[in-house]
């Protein structure tokens, strides 16, 4: 697949909704083999782009994987960059490396607290907030910059209005589109999207979807990110918790229903948190039958 146009912001005018996948750098050879198999199995779906998180080993591994997927495999790729654990000078070096590798898309994130810390603490000489990182990215090179949004509110937000004010600041600082945190109730997304539009946040918003494969795993995720599992879905999952195949089927069915409704209601894109696995995401995309002309 020829990754043209290079920039994600240019895609919204030609292809909607966008379909994209998220991967993370593998920690060992077995995980690397699993990821390569996942990418091979998802390639026929012709995603508009993939994003590479910082989870799994740190920024150098993220940059390497982003480069490999775009320049060797041929899928338009976006690198996550965070404020965590790096000075402005080091982040500048990361951005220069991405630019030199032909990567034109980056996701600006504050990042999680460092290991052993309960709250986020800025690195001396680094950034404290994603809006400062976005502004730095914009000044460094002509990147297409994505930022994160939280339909159910950031876990550390004082209230929903302040959370949207922070999102608006990230957009005003250079963000050109938004990818949301995972959510399972589309009504939450629509309320949040309407509130964002009312606050003059007018960039494209891509909905983040995580197919459920494990009840215990998804409970951990929602507790960490501040999302919720709607009671009917939770009861259904818990009723089949001892049957992994039934949990997987329920998770896929819910995600298909979510995505069909989102597309019918004009979502700008759907971003799948794959957890480096392909089966659920492939089944969902095949059910949606979103044609690709890339």
Give the domains, in start order, of the chain with CATH numbers: 8-286 (3.20.20.220)
CB 175 within 8 A of CB 147: yes
What average pLDDT does this structure show over 224-253?
94
pLDDT for 118: 61
Q: How far is Cα 149 from Cα 167, in angstroms, rounded to an integer?
A: 7
Catalytic (active-site) positions: 22
Q: Does residue 2 register a pLDDT over 80?
A: no
Q: Is the pLDDT of residue 14 over 90?
A: no
pLDDT in tens, 141-176: 999 999 999 999 888 888 999 999 999 999 999 999
Looking at per-residue confidence, does 288 or 54 come out higher? 288
Residue 10, SS3 per DSSP:
helix
The confidence score (pLDDT) of residue 158 equals 85
How many percent of the chain have pLDDT more than 90? 75
pLDDT for the residue numbered 115: 60
pLDDT averaged over every residue in the chain:
90
Q: What pTM does this model have?
A: 0.92
What pLDDT does residue 117 have?
64
Q: How confident is the model at residue 1 (pLDDT cuts 50, 70, 90)?
A: very low
pLDDT score at 252: 96
Per DSSP, what are the bridge partners of residue 89? Answer: none
**201 pLDDT exceeds 50?**
yes
Is the pLDDT at 113 greater than 80? The verdict is no
Average pLDDT over residues 48-59: 80
| Most confident listed range (59-68, 124-133, 167-176) | 167-176
Between 37 and 84, whose confidence is greater?
A: 37
Name which residue leads in pLDDT, 5 or 145.
145
Phi and psi at residue 86, to the nearest 5° = -150, 145
Cα–Cα distance list, 74 to 18, 82, 106, 186, 229 (Å): 17, 25, 17, 33, 36
**Three-class SS of residue 219?**
helix
Q: Which segments of the chain are extended strands (E)?
A: 18-23, 49-52, 77-82, 105-109, 144-149, 177-182, 205-209, 269-273
Q: Is 269 helix (H, G, I), strand (E, B) or coil?
A: strand
């Amino acid at each position: 697949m020829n990754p043209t146009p290079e920039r994600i912001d240019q895609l919204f005018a030609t292809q909607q909704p966008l379909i994209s996948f998220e991967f993370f750098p593998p920690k060992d050879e077995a995980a690397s083999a699993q990821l390569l198999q996942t990418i091979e199995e998802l390639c026929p779906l012709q995603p508009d782009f993939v994003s590479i998180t910082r989870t799994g080993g740190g920024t150098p591994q993220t940059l390497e994987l982003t480069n490999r997927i775009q320049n060797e495999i041929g899928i338009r790729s976006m690198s996550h960059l965070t404020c965590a654990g790096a000075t402005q000078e080091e982040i500048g070096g990361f951005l220069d490396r991405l630019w030199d590798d032909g990567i034109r898309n980056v996701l600006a994130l504050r990042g999680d607290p460092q290991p052993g810390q309960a709250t986020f603490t800025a690195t001396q000489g680094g950034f404290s907030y994603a809006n400062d990182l976005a502004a730095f990215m914009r000044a460094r090179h002509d990147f297409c910059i994505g930022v994160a949004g939280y339909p159910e509110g950031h876990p550390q937000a004082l209230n929903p209005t302040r959370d949207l004010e922070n999102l608006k600041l990230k957009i005003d600082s250079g963000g050109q589109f938004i990818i949301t945190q995972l959510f399972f109730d589309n009504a939450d997304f629509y309320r949040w999207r309407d509130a964002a539009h009312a606050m003059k946040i007018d960039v494209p918003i891509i909905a983040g979807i995580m197919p459920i494969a494990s009840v215990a795993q998804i409970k951990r995720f929602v507790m960490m990110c501040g999302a919720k599992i709607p009671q009917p879905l939770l009861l259904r999952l818990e009723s089949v918790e001892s049957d992994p195949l039934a949990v997987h089927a329920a998770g896929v069915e819910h995600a298909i229903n979510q995505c069909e409704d989102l597309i019918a209601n004009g979502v700008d894109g759907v971003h799948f948190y794959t957890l480096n696995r392909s089966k659920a995401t492939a089944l969902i995309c095949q059910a949606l039958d979103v044609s690709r002309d890339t």
